[in-house]
Amino acid sequence: MKLICLDLEGVLVPEIWIAVAEVLGVPELALTTRDVPDYDHLMRGRLAVLDDRGITLPQIQAIIAKLAPIDGALTFLRRLRERYQVVILSDTFEQFARPIMRTLEWPTLFCNTLIVAPDGRITDYRLRLEDGKRKSVEALRQAGMRVAAVGDSYNDLSMIDTADTGVLFRPPERICRERPDLDVAYGYDELDSILSRWAEAP
């Protein structure tokens, strides 16, 4: 049985924190692990900014609900789910992802969780696992699935390397240079062809 693991941001939807930063006009929220390599440090910074400005989860969810999928993503995903099993593996938080999952017609999602106070303030976050993408692919293979993984950036390489096959989707040029062994797709039709070829191989 074939299962495709898809990264969410950059593969199906735009980067969530960047969209939130733009709409709120708070550029600090657009920092990423490229700017602040320590993830926990980055998240503590983000939560402090939200707290300082009194920005609550419902406000952020309202912004995210307006975030359209990347052109062609929904059609691609619908066609994929008719033929194979699909799990979205993301480093985002389930409360952020929910409005997006609605738009994407409720695919299964493995991600992380925010801790939210009754008044809507985000007080903390909880990683499901350290190195969650890689461990999720490992677990899905242990569940007897043949797994393909699709991602766009450095944090997807461990899941791609753990899967039976992996594809880079619209990656930065630097990753392509560093990983000439990996298939690369720049559009959804191309990505679908690569995945179908793998899945239908004997």
Catalytic residues: 7, 9
| Binding positions for a copy of itself, 120-159, rule CB under 8 A | 128-129, 132, 135-136, 138-140, 142-145
- Under the binding rule (CB under 8 A), the answer on residue 57 touching a copy of itself is no
Measured CA to CA, the distance from residue 61 to residue 98 in angstroms comes to 8
| In the complex, least distance from residue 83 CB atom to a copy of itself, rounded to whole angstroms | 9
By the 8 A CB rule, do 136 and 87 touch?
yes
| Residues 62-91 as x/- pattern, contact with a copy of itself by CB under 8 A | -------------------xx--xxx----
b/e string for 155-187 if b means 16 or more Cβ within 10 A? Answer: bbbbbbebbebbbbbebeeebeeebeebbbbee
Looking at the chain, the number of H-run helices and the number of E-run strands are: 9, 7
- DSSP letter at 9 equals B
| In the complex, least distance from residue 63 CB atom to a copy of itself, rounded to whole angstroms | 20
Binding site for a copy of itself (CB under 8 A): 1, 81-82, 85-87, 94, 98, 102, 105-113, 128-129, 132, 135-136, 138-140, 142-145
